[in-house]
Amino acid sequence: MKKFLLSSFVIATLALTGCSKDDSPTQVEATCNDGVQNGDETGIDCGGSACEPCAVQAEKDGIIASQDDPDLDPTDLKGDVTADVCLTADTVWILNGPLHVKNGATLCIEPGTTIKATAGGTNVYVAIEQGAKINASGTSAAPIKFTSSAANPRSGDWGGILLIGKAPISGGGTATTEVVDLTYGGTTSNDNSGVMKYVEASYTGARINGDKEFNGITFYGVGNETVIENLAVFYGDDDAYEFFGGTVNVKNLMSVNIKDDMFDWTQGWTGTATNLYGLREANYTSITEDPRGLEGDGNLDGNSPGDSGQSNPTINGLVLINGAVIEMADMIKVRRGSGLTLTNAYVAFANPNAKAADFIDLTDSKGDAKGSLVNLSVVGDSSTGLDIADIKTTLDATINVTDGTVPTVSRDLFNWTGYVFE
């Protein structure tokens, strides 16, 4: 007991001594540059009596207005792009909703960048609106890849890529896009929507309903100052590529295992396509009711046969190969007032059981092709089972079909995709 009392006394004495008026309390000064929250700082090197106020973390608002905007989030990419920004190749970007590039802004995508679209919805896509640009300049060694985020991806997992310009469409004026209600068309033939080079888009084509669906890459009224080269679309639930009017020229486009049309145009497209390569593999069984290699309409859905400025594109270099046993409707279908100049084309089957309802068909219940503007030069490979005499034509069309076995577009143009040809 005595020992306890003594200890208590000593402790009390020490406490009183430490609080004497002769001693000053220890002060910890804020340094504002030591990487530590100290003194009266309210954050690390910020706030308090001696430091600058702490920065307030910006909240997401759905608008991407700068490169350091919180909405430019690699894990949750979506929103309206209103300034020039870049998707960098040092991370995988998750496209989680609609990404609209607005008038005056440019979306840059570095070579080698991968964008994974969240699977399962029609509200996941990229739209380059009128007056906006995309600068997706991949390289053969570092292509840009858009794909699905699904562990087991399939066609239709996400929407696709839409380029929307101010170039003319049939009938003049403007129109509204099929899927996201954006204005396209105008009078600017040399409109510029930017650059797309060495870009892949896979598992596209989400369907909104039976009449509206996304394509892999869609060109709405895109002008001829836009640069489109070396693109590939794999596994699409609708078309690989579709042109709604415009004057854009394209080069080296590949289409593999597309449920509907490999290459499609309508509403007054008058551009030039160089080196198109489309194929369906032997084990591919997905189809719409009328899948085609080429499908060309002069006006939208054949509902405006009197429109001025109907489609009349030029295609120099085309390969269409059907290896699937599921029948295609037509290998080449041109109709509804469209013209077409086609040279260096090759059409074949790659399976003894492959077939198509028609080799070439220029007729349609809503209007035949504009025969006076149709000039086709095609090599048909009868050794593969293709009936090269199966042609439905109009009186004034010029069609020159020869039998041959040599494709007119080299596979080597698409080595950059890594695709292994059968």
3-class SS at 8?
Answer: helix
Name the residue ranges covered by the structural domains of the chain. Answer: 66-417
Using DSSP bridges, classify how beta strands 356-361 and 391-392 pair: parallel, antiparallel or unpaired: parallel
| Contact call for residues 263 and 240 (beta carbons, < 8 A) | yes
β pairing state of 183-184 and 175-176 = antiparallel
Average pLDDT for the chain? 92
Q: What is the pLDDT of residue 220?
A: 99
Look at 202 and 6; give whichever has higher pLDDT: 202
For 179-205, write each residue's pLDDT tens digit: 999 999 999 999 999 999 999 999 999
What is the DSSP pairing of strand 183-184 with strand 263-266?
A: unpaired
Question: How far are the Cα atoms of 2, 309, 336, 421 from residue 260, in angstroms, in the given order?
Answer: 99, 26, 18, 21
Q: Distance (Å, rounded) from C-alpha 253 to C-alpha 273?
A: 9
pLDDT, tens digit, 9 for 90 and up, residues 131-181: 999 999 999 999 999 999 999 999 999 999 999 999 999 999 999 999 999
Please give the pLDDT value at position 422: 78
- Asked if the model's pLDDT at residue 2 lies above 70, the reply is no
CB 67 within 8 A of CB 74: no
pLDDT of amino acid 29 = 58
pLDDT at residue number 161? 99
pLDDT for 14: 35
Q: Is the predicted pLDDT of residue 298 greater than 70, yes or no? A: yes
pLDDT grade for 9, boundaries at 50, 70 and 90 = very low
Instruction: Check if the beta carbon of residue 261 is closer than 8 Å to that of residue 230.
Output: no
* 3-state SS, residue 110: coil
Q: What's phi and psi for 308, nearest 5 deg?
A: -80, 165
User: Of all residues in the chain, what percent carry a pLDDT higher than 90?
Assistant: 81
CA distance 214 to 233: 13
pLDDT digits (tens, 9 = 90+) for 23-45: 444 445 547 888 888 888 888 88
| C-beta of residue 132 within 8 angstroms of C-beta of residue 102 | yes
Query: What pLDDT does 387 receive?
Result: 97
- C-alpha span between 124 and 161 (Å, rounded): 10
The token pair at 225 is 């100052």
Rounded CA separation 120/36 (Å): 45
Say yes or no to pLDDT of 21 above 90: no
